Structure 1
C-alpha cells in the first residue's frame, strides 16, 4: 500500500489498524456479520441551519474512520454556493436531496477546500443535478486533482479498470476490519467502534460505485470573491497548512469562517501537513473574530476555544520534535520518545476509541511532518 492517507478508506485501514507486536500474533476469532449503518452510527449526513441563509450538512456522529467531509450551503440571490461536495457518489446524491430540502434555488458554485477524496468525490453527483454549477479550487488543489494525488480516480466518466482497483483496496479494508474485531483485549468502546465501522463499510461500498472525479472549472491563486447583496463569500488561499492548497471561505456579513480540514473535530488530522504555516494560518483566522467556525468535520462552533487547543497542540508537537532533532534523534526515535498524552487527553479524554485514532491521525503523521520541517526535508502531499 502507498503512504497512509486518511481519505482513502483502504489505505487508512491497512496501516492504522495495526496493533502492538504482541497483538499481531493473537489467534483469530469468528467473523461478525456486518449490516447496514444504524441511526446510532451517525454515518448518513443531515442538514441544519447555522445562521440565516447558511446551512451545514454533516455527519451526526462527528468521528468515523472513513469520514465524509462537511458541506456548507450558502444562499445567494441567484443560487446556492456549496463549500465542498462530500466523499462519494452516494454521499453526493444524498447531498443533492438535502440541499433541495431547504431551497428551490440551483447550486451555482461548489468551492473545494482541498483535494482529499472525502471532500471532493461527491461533486460529480452534484454537478449531474446542476450541470451549470462551477467547481472552484485553488490552483494548487486543481493540480493535485488532475495529477498524481488523485490518479486512482476516473475523470469525466466511470472507468471499469480504476473502479476494480479501488474495489480491491476495499477488499483489504474488509479483511482489516475483520481481523481487528478478532483481536483479544479490545476495550468495549473499541469493539463498538470497529463493529460500527464494519457496518459503515457496507454502505461505503455502495456509495463508491461508479466513482468519478469532477475537476475544477475555475481556479484562483490568492482570493476570489463571490458577490451577493446579503451573503458575499470571500474564498481565500491563506497559504500551506493542512495541505499546500487549502481554501477557506469567509462570510464577512455573517462572520462565518469555513475552515475545511484546517480545523477538524473531535480529533485533528495531521497527515502531510505544514506545521508552522498551519499555526500561522489558524492565528490569522482567529484575528478575524468569527462568530461561527465551521470545521471540515464536526459540528459548527460558536467560539474559538477549540481552535486555540489545535494551535497549542501544533505548538507543543513542534517544540517536542525540535528538541529531539537537537539531540540528533532519528524520526523513528522521535516518534517513540515524544509523549503527547496531554494532548491526547484534551482531545480524546478517556475514550479508548478516540485515543487510538488520535495517535494514528495526529501523533504519528504530525510528528513526521514536524520532523521534516525541523530538518528541512520536503513535505509532500500523498495520494488519495
Structure 2
C-alpha cells in the first residue's frame, strides 16, 4: 500500500509507503525470522493458478498478493509486489512453478505495495505488458506517485524516500518504550522492527514501472483454457480498481477491494464499494483471491465486508445530520461488534483494526454524507 508518509502514521502504513526501524547511524536491526511470515510464498489455487502471499496475512508493512495465471503462450500476473526486493523474490517464485514467460502484469490499483516490484519483473521479462485502468494509469503518472522515480533510479528522490522512512522510525521505537503494551502488542512491534529493516533493504534503487496498456471498463486476455477478463466494476477502495475474473475457473482476484484479516479503509468510496462488491458477488465466484490474505472459498467474508461498510455508513450518517464534526464522529462511532467479527480480542489486531478501518473509514463515510470530495493521492 505507497502514498504519503505522514498525514498520520497509520495512514502511511495502510497505504503502504512503508516504514523502517533503522534510523541512520543506529545499529542495524535484525531481519525477519521465518515466524514473522514476511516473505511471500506461492500456493496452488486451482490447476494453472497460483497465489503469492505473505504467510502471516497481517503485516504492519504489507506486500500485496500476486496471482499467477498460466495461459497457452505465457503467464499473466495480477499485481507486481511492493518493492524491488519483493519483485525479485516474486520472479523466483513464478519460475518455480512454470517455465513460461510472463507476458502481462495487470495492476489492480496504484498503491505502492502492489506496484513497486514491477521494475524487477519487467527486468526479468522485458516483453511483458503492464496493464491498468486508465484511472490507475493517471495516478501512477501523476501526483499520487510523484515521490517515485520513473525509468531509472534517482538519488534525490531515493534520499527523500529514505528520510521519510527515518522519520517514521520513531513511531516504532516510541511504541516499544511504552509500559502499557500487552505481551502480544510488544511482540508485534518487535516483529515490525525486523520487517521494516528488510523493507529498507528491499527498497534500494526503487523505480516505478509504468503501464504500457490501459482500458476503461473491460479488457479480455483470451486463452483456450484460462481466459482472463480484466474489469473495472466501479469505485471502491480506490477510484480505478481493477479485478481479474476467470470465468471458466470461477476465480476472482480482487486487489484491495477485499483484504483479510483487516480491510483497508483509507480514502475509499463507501457506497460505491458496496455496489462494486455486490456486482462481483453476482458472478458467483467459487474462489476469491484478495489483495492481502489467503484464498477464500465462497463469499462469506465478502458479505462480512459489505456489512462492515454498511454498518460504518449507518453509524456516521445520523451524526452528520446532527451537525457533529468529523473529529467528534471519530470518537463516537462504535464498531466494536464488527471489530470482534474480524479480529476477535487479539489486542495487536484490535489496535490496527481501529487505525486501518474505524478511523479512516469514518472519515470517508463522513465526507460521503456531507458531500465533501474524497481525494486519492499524496496531497
Rounded Cα–Cα distance in structure 2 between residues aligned with 1:325 and 1:378: 15
Following TM superposition, by how much is the alpha carbon of 1:167 offset from its aligned partner in structure 2, in angstroms? 0.6
How big is each residue's C-alpha offset from its partner over 1:270-303, in whole Å with a ceiling of 9 and x where there is no partner? 0000000000111111111111000000000001
Please tell me whether the aligned partners of residues 10 and 172 of structure 1 are also in contact (alpha carbons under 8 angstroms).
no
Report the secondary structure of 2:15's partner residue.
Answer: coil
Report the equivalent of 1:7.
15
Q: Once the 2 structures are TM-superposed, how far is the Cα of residue 32 of structure 1 from its aligned partner? A: 10
Maintained 8 Å contact 1:135/1:218 = yes
The yes-or-no answer on 1:127 pairing with 2:127 is no
Contact 1:2 1:383 in 2 (8 A): no
Please give the alpha-carbon distance, in whole angstroms, between the structure 1 residues aligned to 2:28 and 2:162. Answer: 20
Residue 11 of structure 1, CA deviation: 7.2
Q: Report if the CA contact (8 A) 1:223-1:235 is conserved.
A: yes
1:345-384 to 2 correspondence within 5 Å?
345-383=340-378
Aligned partner of 1:317 among 297, 301, 312? 312
Matching residue within 329, 338, 341 for 2:333: 338
Count of aligned residue pairs for this structure pair: 367
Match of 1:99 in 2: 94
1:173-201, Cα deviation, whole Å (9 max, x unpaired) = 22221111111100111000000000111
2: CA distance, partners of 1:374 / 1:98? 45
| Contact 1:114–1:246 (8 Å) recurs in 2 | yes
1:245 & 1:11 partners in 2: Cα distance? 25
Q: Which of the numbers 145, 148, 153 marks the counterpart of 2:148?
A: 153
Q: Secondary structure at the match of 1:332?
A: helix
CA contact (8 A) 1:142 1:216 kept: yes
Instruction: Give every structure 1 segment of 4 or more consecutive aligned residues whose post-TM-superposition deviation is greater than 6 Å.
Output: none
User: What is the alpha-carbon root mean square deviation over aligned residues?
Assistant: 1.5
1:255 maps to what in 2? 250
For residues 7-156 of structure 1, the aligned pairs below 5 Å read 7-10=15-18, 34-156=29-151
Are residues 12 and 289 of structure 1, via their aligned partners in 2, closer, same or farther at CA, if it must alter by over 3 Å? farther
Q: What is the SS of the residue equivalent to 1:258?
A: strand
Runs of 5+ unmatched residues, structure 2: none
Q: Paired residue for 1:176?
A: 171
SS, match of residue 296 in structure 2: coil
Change (3 A) 1:161 1:286: same
**1:112-150 CA-partner distances (Å, limit 9, x unpaired):** 000000000000000000000000000000000000000
Tell me how far apart the structure 1 counterparts of residues 61 and 133 of structure 2 sit (CA, whole Å). Answer: 25
List runs of 5+ in structure 1 lacking aligned partners. Answer: 14-30
Write the distance in 2 (CA, Å) between the matches of 1:156 and 1:143.
16
Q: Matched residues in 2 for 1:264 and 1:10: separation?
A: 17
Whether the 8 Å CA contact 1:9–1:65 is kept in 2: the answer is no
Superposed displacement of residue 382, structure 1: 2.5
SS at match of 2:173: helix
Tell me, what secondary structure is at the counterpart of 2:245? strand
* TM-score, normalization by structure 2: 0.95
Alignment of 1:243-322 (within 5 A): 243-322=238-317
| Residue aligning to 2:233 | 238
SS at match of 1:124: helix
